[in-house]
Amino acid sequence: MTRLTQGWLIVLFFLLVSFTLALSTGPVKLSFLSMSPTDRVILFNLRLPRALSSFFVGGGLALAGAIFQGLFRNPLADSYLLGISSGASLGAAVALVLGFTSPIAVFTGVSFFSFLGSLGALALVFYFGSQNGAISTFRLLLSGLGVGLFISSFVAILMIMAEEELKALIFFFLGGFSSSSWETTLLALVFVPVGVLIALYYSRELNVLLLGEETAKSSGVNTKSIQAIYAVLAAFLTSVSVSVAGLIGFVGLIVPHMIRMIFGADHRVLFPLTFLVGGTFLILCDTIAKVIIAPSELPVGVVTSICGVPFFLYLLKKEKGEYGL
């Protein structure tokens, strides 16, 4: 049995364990062997959509992080640190405060404005983070920090303007799945797998792009097109995740880096494993958030930050500007 096969089996095992914990853990203890009608309502109307939401949001955020790290060839790139998540939250906040929500979801509602916000933040980070066509870690992090803080100030203004929407805005800042329903879960169920398939379809081209633009061009890869597709795709995955769960950080930083350390930087392997491990990681974080101060509940964004900040500082200390650390 190869190491990759063993890795897949381990990932799938922990995914099964995480789902079991998520479905059985909560204020009401459930036994899958003997369930009352009330237990079934709790399981299928509350816990199952919450577990699915956390899985697809975690997978989407982790995949977005892997894409950004591949594009910038730097393990410190992440949608949260680059300010892309802040842009998505600003778009969602604008939709909520100004009443641009819609029952037909993505095209006229919160998700659409969240996507626009993430694209705007991405454009600003690219503009300020590059110099003479080159992107350095230092400029990238500073531009991401600046864009994120700038956008957050506008979200603060919207929070002051908001009245009954204030609770929803606070939810977007803290991030969590306490209000998950089948309606919100459906968005992630439909669009995140589409993003995964697109990422996998162009993964060979991204592998070639890691060797340098000149090498990629000589191999017949349209570098500008691939870069644009992946940048928009990562922004899209981030916006969908923010629409469903709010602002959750560091999933896209921790998971892709760990998978790359173990299995290498081949994106045909990296992308699917990152998606599965990211989903598993966020399910476990959400389960911890439910029980650590029970009967109250922590926002899951707090749990991921507690895990992610030390990891980020560790990477920042040892980062040498190389993609495959």
Please work out, in degrees rounded to the nearest 5, the angle formed at the alpha carbon of residue 95 by the alpha carbons of 102 and 178: 80
Domain ranges across the chain: 48-318
Question: Which CATH number applies to 48-318: 3.40.980.10, 1.10.10.10, 2.30.110.10, 1.10.3470.10?
Answer: 1.10.3470.10
- Number of Cα atoms under 13 Å in the Cβ half of residue 298: 16
- Structure-token pair, residue 285: 């974080």
Contact 240, 188 (CB under 8 A): yes
Q: Which of 230, 301, 242, 304 is nearest to 267 (CA)?
A: 230
Determine the pLDDT at residue 105. Answer: 47
Task: Give average pLDDT by consecutive 10-residue segment, the chain, 325 residues.
Answer: 87 94 83 79 90 95 93 81 87 80 54 87 85 69 86 84 71 79 86 95 90 79 87 91 86 90 90 96 93 83 86 70 45
Determine the pLDDT at residue 156. Answer: 82
Contact 93, 169 (CB under 8 A): yes
- Coil, strand or helix at 157: helix
The dihedral of CA 237, 49, 190, 273: what is its sign? Answer: positive
Concatenated DSSP letters of 218-276: HTT--HHHHHHHHHHHHHHHHHHHHHHH----SHHHHHHHHHHHHH-S-HHHHHHHHHH
